[in-house]
Amino acid sequence: MKISLSRRVTAVVAALGLALVAVPATVPAANADDNACGLGETCDGVLSGPLGASAFKIKVPENFNGTVLLYSKQYSAGVPIPAGIGVPLGYADSPYYSPMTIPGLGPGYAANGSAHVAPSDGVESALLNQGYALAGTGLARQGWAVAEGVEAGENLIKYINGGGIEGVKQIMAWGKSMGAETTQALIQNNPGKIAGSLPMCMASAEFFGETYMTAVYVWKTLIDPSLQGYNYAPGQAGYAQAMGDMQKMLTTLGAVASGQATVSSAGYPIALSNLLAGLLAGLPTVSSTYDGVTVNPAVATLGTAGASAGGYSPLSSGQSAAVAMLQNIGGILGTGITLQYDLEQRARTIGSIPAGESAAYVGNVGVNYNKLLSPEQYGEFADTFATAGPGVLDAMMAALAAGERVKANPVAAKIVAGLPSASAAYNNKPTVALAGTYDLRVPGVTGDFVEGMANSKKGKKADKKGMLKAVAYYSVPPADGWTSFEPGAKSPSAALSALKLGGSGVGSCPFTTDQTVAAVKAMEALAKADSAKGVTAAKRLGYKVPGINRDRQYRPLPPKDPAATVG
């Protein structure tokens, strides 16, 4: 392991008005004790391994309590995103991306590989104030990079244990999205070096692939047949196809949201086709602005017909859900397409798949989409689809049944399935999972994982003794809804709705600072617990926080399983 280290002293002596300075230095691993990141310091550098070099960052508070929290970062696109796409999709505002010029395309944004120690500044500050040292890594490559994340984490653990931080009592791992998968793979590979884990909004390549395939197949069939969607060409040609798909879908979503487009080139209502795509993929029917229930106040004064004539919305719970799904499909757009392209390209390279052969690693041959639409979904939204005319939903389902299917390349499928991932094996180390009830990553992924741990051989043995140190907490939104309006407004206020929502339960990894800190506390308490009573008390810490579902028997619906409908 090669180490390049720099230290930035962050303790500020205000009385002297000292400025912060960065003093870079390169030191060999053997001298790590002499260059330990001290109290009140922020230290960063680069660690190298067989898979490449990755940045790291360490922050040690003045009141260090001996626990280091090792953070694994989320997924970042492995290709640059043109500004015309990146700005509306939020890449421009993400600390994980930096502005750059894309040759032949102009301004864009690319993943910067930077190291982060927490999911947000608020969480970082709260944990540092409570005495936790925070550490985190970047990645040697972008895209789906669990293997690189595990290597980076192992390198940083070795560095910390070699004297990179003095006074360490234990290291605990945590991460979000792909970082949650990395976290669990890391502790599985290094159970003796990590005291516990906190996977947040878990996601897997398999889950993303299935979700994306369902959504994009509906889009290709009912909305835009010109989409490539999958089996992207090798290299730059495939990159152009992928960015073209992102632009087409983004433009269509925007046109529908603004009322400029209603019917697709295939002849189906776009908003309802998109709603169907989300329902079949298992995405939530609420968003940070639309709670799927609240209608415009104008309905109460003008009536539904009058409010409709006046241009007010939403007019019904179904319309609220349909607009929410426009936002949710937009929310998975960047990850879905760039991940599909990334994994297909990797499969082509690893498996020597020629240009004329498909590299699709997920297929839908034989999938029965009628079975993917649950009876509950049909009962809830049949009236919504009927607003477009009698038989519209049946016509859509018939089109999906008759559409051109995608056959997965078994070589590509085997390669992607063989990429490093986390299993639901229980190893007697605390695992505190955190998920949003209406997370785009679908909380059922977390539910499946924690349930799998409980049902494993060691999990059953521990549970029988009351010593199962695995728990899942689900953040929830306000029970009375959150869609909010300015007085007399035609549509909801995104700002007011987000304010009422409070960052809990809905969206991408929707956790408040208090919820996240409580999960860390529960993880630490579980590590210390040596009795069934202690385990119960530790788990109680997470349930006490506002915005966490206190029903300990709650189990989210499992992710949609297209393969189970075949035959």
Q: Would you give the distance in Å from CA 85 to the centre of its chain?
A: 19
| Kind and range of the H or E run holding 111 | strand 106-111
The token pair that represents 269 in the structure block? 């209502």
- Looking at CATH, the fold of the domain delimited by 1-76+113-203 is given as Rossmann fold (3.40.50)
- In the numeric block, which tokens belong to residue 278? 């989300």
Residue type at position 1 = M
- pLDDT, one tens digit per residue, over 34-88 is 679 999 999 999 999 999 999 999 999 999 999 999 999 999 999 999 999 999 9
Residues 3 and 523: their CA atoms lie apart, in Å, by 30
Q: Tokens for 424?
A: 């639901």
What single letter denotes the amino acid at residue 2?
K
Do residues 545 and 521 make contact, with C-beta atoms less than 8 angstroms apart?
no
Q: Could you tell me the maximum CA-CA distance found in the chain, to the nearest angstrom?
A: 76
Q: What are the start and end residues of each CATH 3.40.50.1820 domain in the chain?
A: 1-76+113-203
Residue 305's Cα: distance from chain center in Å? 40
CB 59 within 8 A of CB 141: no
The tens-digit pLDDT sequence of the chain (567 residues) is 655 555 554 332 222 233 322 323 333 343 445 679 999 999 999 999 999 999 999 999 999 999 999 999 999 999 999 999 999 999 999 999 999 999 999 999 999 999 999 999 999 999 999 999 999 999 999 999 999 999 999 999 999 999 999 999 999 999 999 999 999 999 999 999 999 999 999 988 888 899 999 999 999 999 999 999 999 999 999 999 999 999 999 999 999 999 999 999 999 999 999 999 999 999 999 999 999 999 999 999 999 999 999 999 999 999 999 999 999 999 999 999 999 999 999 999 999 999 999 999 999 999 999 999 999 999 999 999 999 999 999 999 999 999 999 999 999 999 999 999 999 989 999 999 999 999 987 788 999 999 999 999 999 999 999 999 999 999 999 999 999 999 999 999 999 999 999 999 999 999 999 999 999 999 999 999 999 999 999 999 999 999 999 999 998 888 999 999 998
Closest CA to 238 of 144, 143, 344: 344
How far apart are alpha carbons 458 and 530 in whole angstroms? 16
Residue 67 DSSP SS3:
strand
| Residue pointed to by tokens 């399983």 | 561
- Distance (Å, whole) CA 20 – CA 10: 6
Q: How far, in Å, CA of 57 to CA of 71, rounded? A: 10
DSSP H stretches of helix in 69-111: 83-86
Instruction: Kindly state the tokens that stand for 556.
Output: 């989210």
Distance, CA of 155 to CA of 134 (rounded, Å): 15
Nearest-10 crossing angle of helices 317-351, 270-281: 60
Collapse the DSSP code of 498 into the 3-class scheme (helix H, G, I; strand E, B; otherwise coil) and give the result. Answer: helix
Tens-place pLDDT, residues 336-392: 999 999 999 999 999 999 999 999 999 999 999 999 999 999 999 999 999 999 999
The single-letter DSSP state of residue 218 is H
Structure-token match 């209608």, residue found: 295
Q: How many CB atoms lie within 10 A of CB 381?
A: 21
Question: In whole angstroms, what is the distance from residue 422 CA to residue 452 CA?
Answer: 12
Tell me if residue 403 falls in helix, strand or coil.
coil
Residue 364 vs residues 355, 368, 419: alpha-carbon distances, Å: 21, 9, 21
**3-class SS of residue 360:** coil
- Tokens 């059953």 -> residue: 460
Residue 220: closest CA among 257, 251, 245: 245
